Structure 1
Amino acid sequence: MPIQFRPVVLATLLSSLIIAPPLSLAAKPSTVVESKKADLGFAQIKTAFLSALWQQDPDMAMAAGRYQDANKLVLPDQATRDAYVAFTDNWLAQLNKVGADALSAKEQTDLALMRNYLNGTRWYLTQFREFEWNPTQHNIAGSFDAILNTDFAPKAKRVQVAIQRLQAVPAYYAAAKASIKNPTPEHTRLAIKQSAGAISVLADLEKAASQEKLATKDKQALEDGLKNARAAVNDYVQFLENLEKKLDTATARSFRIGKQLYEGKFTADIQSSLSAEQTYQRALTARDEAHNNMEKLADQLWDKTMGAQAKPADRVKKIAMVIDKLSENHVVAKDLYPEIRQQLPLLEKWIREHDLVSLDLKKPLVVRETPVYQRGVSLASIEAPGIFRPNDKTYYNVTPFDGQPADQVESTLREYNHWVLQILNIHEAIPGHYTQLQHANKSPSVIKTLFGNGAMIEGWAVYSERMMLESGYGGNTPEMWLMYYKWNLRAVCNTILDYLVHVLGMTEAEAKDFLMNQAFQTKAEADGKWLRVQYTSVQLTSYFSGYSEILEFREQLKKQQGDKFKLKQFHEQFLSYGSAPVGMIKKLMLKDAGKQRFLK
């Protein structure tokens, strides 16, 4: 499920990463003293870079937990984009002067990530140009929500910051309208829907301000600001609605980005040693392997679930029948949130008793309804604090069933049945995203955490599902393993689906047939995934790409180290590098392996 850093979606940060020319991780200083000296000099460069970045991009600063410039609402206009391109050019020139070979391995990876970010930002602004065709990029809700709900200052101060930021909202939406050129119909419709979240957040600000004693001038600024901001949001929605009416689906820009942009974006975001097409081919093989395992489990469960009913010859149909029967075991809608909250302590207990990875229970995890402005993409997500505010609340967002017909609610609950809901909680929370991001925020490298790699983050969450079941969680029952493979097929088939849709032109009917009849997903899940694959590109490949690389690396080390391999120490060492790409972590861990740093 998607991960978010307040106040911007993590994918926005990750979309700025593109591979720089590969750096050798073997530092070649003449002495250890010279290496330390080079590292110290580079540390000063990193400090200067981050200071400049916070000024250039206050929203990214907020996402990282720095709210010094939270009162500034950056306009999405050409002047802002030109300034950002100039910023990237300036810093790339400075980083090109750094002698990479003189740095230690860890500092070389930081240098590579900085270059990745700058090159990627430039590519996105000058070539991908999503700001022109994706109106959902222009929404004030996330930043205001972060200001109001992050305890970076007393509430009265946060309200004042929000009031100051409020004054620029009309200019923000005017710039957004000017930026949009030939939007896709799909993103236009989603933007109209999500804009309701902006109105909702403005209401939250009004309510929060009513509870504070404001000076007369602040009251007036609030009143005028809210009036003008609401008018600006409504005008933007009207603009989009009028635009949508004029869009001809035959001539409007397609949401499909095509092979060239897809490969470029895959290289940028995923940072794998494989190409997008190679990863797609690997996923096809993984799908077939999953089907083989699921058939064996379905045979084992057939009499228990289906009684004397004859087995169909078609294995996919046989698997689907067993899954369909098991899926009748699910919570009722009103118990979804309580059940999720009840399961989290049980996961914590299991991890501690089996010594799988360290946990920090002092970091609050709050299960809540997904904010309106974030809905429309997935059922659940984690919204994590930035590296500079690691003790803030982490939100486990779950989208409510408001207004959904009964059959759709039932379909969703069957998808997230008794077994799958447990796996979802592993993925989103413990020991998945919540745990991994806790470790990332403790990483000594701000760079590795700030410019986190989506494939590593999502890959860890998918890996943690398998690791938990391997430890015996769920009792090693065939029901739990069958539902695990069904869930794991989501990651595998996400990759297949994304490539088929964006590169090979798969239709809606073909996509839903694929999801329901090869990935064993319910109609509600297939409907939602079709929406998601229209709204996003490449992100869906991050799950399988990262997971397969992590698992492959773990098995490589287990084979090499034999009895000396310790699972918890592998996890601790792997997570200690922040959210760096899996390939970088692998190189660093192999280098450290010789020093016995994660082996006893």
Structure 2
Amino acid sequence: MRHAPLSLSLSMILAAGTLAGCQPATLPISDTPPASAPAASVASDARFEQVAESLLMRALERSPEWSIYSGRYDNAEKLTIPDAARRAEDLAFARAALAELEAFDPQQLPASQRIDHMLLGNQFESAIWYQQQFRDWAWDPSNYNVAGTVALLLNTPYAAEDARLRTVMQRIDRVPEYYAAARANIEDPTTEHVELAIVQSRGALSVFDDELRKRIAASGLESAEKTAFNQRIDDARGAIEGWIGWLEDKQAQLATSGDARSFRIGEAQYERKFAYDIQSHYSAAELYRRAVEEKEQLHARMDDITRELWPKYLAGTAMPQDRLERIGMMIDHLSAKHVERGDFVDEIKRQIPTLAEFVREHDLLDQDETRPLVVRETPEYMRGSGAGASVSAPGPFNPTADTYYNVSPLDAYTDEQAESFLREYNHWVLQVLNIHEGIPGHYTQLLHANKSPSLVKSLLGNGAMVEGWAVYSERMMLEQGYGGQEPEMWLMYGKWNLRVVTNAILDYAVHVRGMTEEQAMDLLQREAFQEETEAVNKWRRVRLSQVQLTSYFTGYAEIMDLREQRRQALGEDFDLKTFHNRFLSYGNAPVSAIAELMAEQYPAQ
């Protein structure tokens, strides 16, 4: 399960990025310099703040797509055409931005601005690398899809219905040109990404369906506008259908030739992508080794719990000598306890208020009860990537919009597949999932993030921090007594946490070490105890993405380390709620940067 993408390479942001936004937090960071600060230093700080904000505003203006996902709709009627001319402009913009940043010495800036400087520099440097070296614009056709922004404009009440419809009407005018550019870009696609693009593009057609035409008919638009709008819908659908047909032809060519580009990106590109995307003090190889060690430790703890539970559940069954076999038998036995297929979404809706109440009762962190989490079925244009649940949050410029918990329905599953899925998300694991995606995981963190006074930290968020917080929140809730300290819950948490660990192992092993599908399925099913449906989905996902699967474990490990460092430094003065609120108040900065800020602004006495 994962959160909808929080940040992309800046090349994608500038062109057609999708940045999920956030919502306000508490305990804002003060960047106000002390009264004794030299005037020159104060002036430099102010200049940097102006430059940072200017760079962001110019980038947002250049990318209507990024603006829309950030909750800013000033230029929403414009559609970016991802052609060669645009890429040249993006490259020039990134280089010019780096030149502006080079005018400042980061070591002379306050801590918070130092982090902003680092985040901006990383994003613009990565923009150049993504465009010139990684070049996924040329081999990943799933990058091209106009449905997301259109759906967001239609479903977000940021303005009156007629105004939003007029914006969409203008926005879709150049859809045929958009897909013509996409076809021109794709040179050497992978089979896997062609397949994903086909699935998601078919889903995109659902945004331009009869429901939209009904809304147009019922609107206050002029008759001529309605006619023009319907014609543009026809043209957009025709362009998408033409794109799908082109992809299907490409798919057939790749199947016939047998020499499609590999989805594996190799060690050199993986390490560089890891450095840009994760921004950790670990290298990718170091993170992989730590994950392998953590897997062994988890197995040992889960074995202890299995031995404890054996007399209760499997007293009449001989306990196998093999550790993984006996753990697997206990998990298999417990997994039979799960919600009915037809009640899956309703059960998730039921659990969210329960989690919020637990957080309130135990005073674990601040919540915003005015912004409830909306559980919905995952829109069709977002399906197909292998992630069964995600959170779509409003951008920082539209903080009052709804946050959605997207849950993929089980309609497409056979009875056997549905049973496998429900066993994977059994009585205990489903609760951990809802902590991760909802409260106090992604949803809560995103509610806090926009109250960081730094737009840089909100808009250029670090995925490892975001995913790491969701994973950390699972462990923290159980530590604080959620689940009643039941050994069954801790065993299933161990199984769930093995996902985080094996995500990191799998991603590196597949893309760098050449792990085969057979080896991957053994890791996922035998060593991580995943049901077949989940393992198949994960194998699909690892072929469609790179590095992102490591973000969970990296962020989690760094947050746990930071919490214990603060606990040791503060001693009796350490307070868990204060730690959480302060941590979340820094927006979506990398954990290493947050650690630096916390040490500087809240030093141990």
Q: Same fold (TM over 0.5)?
A: yes
- Deviation digits for residues 430-462 of structure 1 (CA, Å, limit 9, x no counterpart): 000000011101111110010000000000000
TM-superposed deviation, 1:250: 4.1
After superposition, residues 456-535 of structure 1 pair within 5 angstroms as 456-535=465-544
Whole-angstrom CA distance in 2 between matches of 1:11 and 1:539: 11
What one-letter code is carried by the residue in structure 2 that aligns with 1:259? E
Q: What is the deviation of 1:131? A: 1.1
Give, in angstroms, the shift of residue 506 of structure 1. 0.9
Which residue pairs with 1:284 in the alignment? Answer: 292
Confirm or deny: 8 A CA contact 2:9 2:126 kept in the other structure. no
Partner of 1:431: 440
Aligned to 2:25: none
Q: In the TM superposition, what is the alpha-carbon distance from 1:530 to its structure 2 partner?
A: 0.5
Alignment of 1:31-42 (within 5 A): 31-42=37-48
Q: Does the Cα contact within 8 Å between 2:7 and 2:460 map onto a contact in 1? A: no
Contact 1:14/1:269 (<8 A) preserved? no
Aligned twin of 1:157: 163
Q: CA shift at 1:174, angstroms?
A: 0.6
1:215 CA drift (Å): 1.0
Residues of 2 paired with 1:15 and 1:320: CA distance?
44
Instruction: Choose which of 184, 194, 199 in structure 2 pairs with 1:193.
Output: 199
On the 8 A contact 2:2/2:437 being kept in 1, the answer is no
Q: Structure 1 stretch 333-342 or stretch 312-321: which is displaced more? A: 333-342
Letter in 1 for 2:317: Q
CA distance in 2, matches of 1:14, 1:559: 38
The aligned counterpart of 2:124 is 118
Q: Contact 2:378/2:409 (CA < 8 Å) preserved in 1? A: yes
Contact 1:347 1:430 in 2 (8 A): yes
Provide closer, same or farther for how the CA distance between residues 125 and 516 of structure 1 changes in structure 2, counting only shifts above 3 A: same
Give the whole-Å Cα distance in 1 for the aligned partners of 2:532 and 2:446: 32
Displacement of 1:179 after TM fit? 0.5
Aligned residue pairs total 584
Q: How does 1:307-346 map to 2 (within 5 A)?
A: 307-346=315-354
Aligned mates of 2:197, 2:481 — CA distance in 1: 44
User: What displacement does 1:170 show?
Assistant: 0.4
Corresponding residue of 2:21 = none
Q: CA RMSD in A?
A: 1.8
Task: Show the counterpart of 1:571.
Answer: 580
Contact 1:431–1:461 (Cα < 8 Å) also in 2: yes
One-letter code aligned to 2:86: T
Q: Cα distance 1:237–1:432, how it changes in 2: closer, same or farther (>3 A)?
A: same
Q: How far is 1:111 from its partner?
A: 1.2
Normalising by structure 2, we get a TM-score of 0.94
Partner Cα separation in structure 2 for residue 287 and residue 158 of structure 1: 50
How far is the alpha carbon of 1:560 from its aligned partner?
Answer: 2.1
CA shift at 1:56, angstroms? 1.4
Q: Which runs of 5+ in 2 are unaligned?
A: 14-30
* Alpha-carbon distance between aligned partners in 2 of 1:382 and 1:31, rounded to the nearest angstrom: 42
Q: Which amino acid aligns with 1:378?
A: A
Which residue is 1:299 aligned to?
A: 307
Q: Amino acid of the residue matched to residue 485 of structure 2?
A: N
Moved more, 512-521 or 30-39: 30-39
| Aligned-pair CA distance for 1:211 | 2.2
From 7, 10, 31, give the equivalent of 2:6: 10
Matches within 5 A, 1:232-243: 232-243=239-250
Question: Secondary structure in 1 aligned to 2:359?
Answer: helix
Amino acid at match of 2:572: D
Partner of 1:388: 397
In structure 1, what is the equivalent of residue 425 of structure 2? 416
Say which SS state the counterpart of residue 366 (structure 1) adopts: strand
Contact 1:492 1:544 in 2 (8 A): yes
Q: Which moved more, 1:101-110 or 1:413-422?
A: 101-110
Give, in whole Å, the separation in 1 of the partners of 2:471 and 2:450: 20
Letter in 2 for 1:3: H
Give yes or no for contact 1:29–1:102 (8 Å, CA) kept in 2: no
- When residues 566 and 28 of structure 1 are mapped into structure 2, their CA distance, relative to the original with a 3 A threshold, is closer
**Aligned amino acid, residue 427 of structure 2:** H
- Name the CA distance, whole Å, in 1 between partners of 2:9 and 2:165: 26
Contact preservation (8 Å) 1:159, 1:205: no
**Residue matched to 1:264:** 272
Find the counterpart in structure 2 of residue 20 from structure 1.
Answer: none
Q: Is 1:547 aligned with 2:556? A: yes
Q: Which has the higher contact order (CA 8 A, sep 6+)?
A: 2
Q: Trace 1:81-100 onto structure 2 (pairs within 5 A).
A: 81-100=87-106
* 2:397 alignment partner AA: F
1:513–1:101 Cα change, 3 Å: closer
Q: State the shift of 1:504 in Å.
A: 0.7
User: For the structure 1 residues 31 and 213, does the alpha-carbon distance in structure 2 shift closer, same or farther, using more than 3 Å as the test?
Assistant: closer
User: What residue is the counterpart of 1:592 in the other structure?
Assistant: 601
Task: Find the residue that maps to 2:8 and give its secondary structure.
Answer: helix
Distance 1:503-1:207 versus aligned 2 partners, 3 A rule: farther
Q: Secondary structure at the match of 1:489?
A: helix
Quote the Cα distance in structure 2 between the aligned partners of 1:523 and 1:101: 51
Query: 1:20-77: CA deviations, max 9, x gaps?
Result: xxxxx9x999934433322222222123212211221111111111111111110111
Distance 2:604 2:81 in 1: 50
Structure 1's unaligned 5+ residue stretches are 18-24
1:371 equivalent in structure 2: 379
Q: Shift of residue 210 of structure 1? A: 2.3
The residue matched to 1:51 in structure 2 has which SS? helix
CA contact (8 A) 1:35 1:104 kept: no
After the TM superposition, which residues 79-228 of structure 1 pair with which residues of structure 2 at under 5 Å, given as runs?
79-203=85-209, 204-228=211-235
SS at match of 2:234: helix
How far apart in 2 are the matches of 1:583 and 1:29?
A: 28
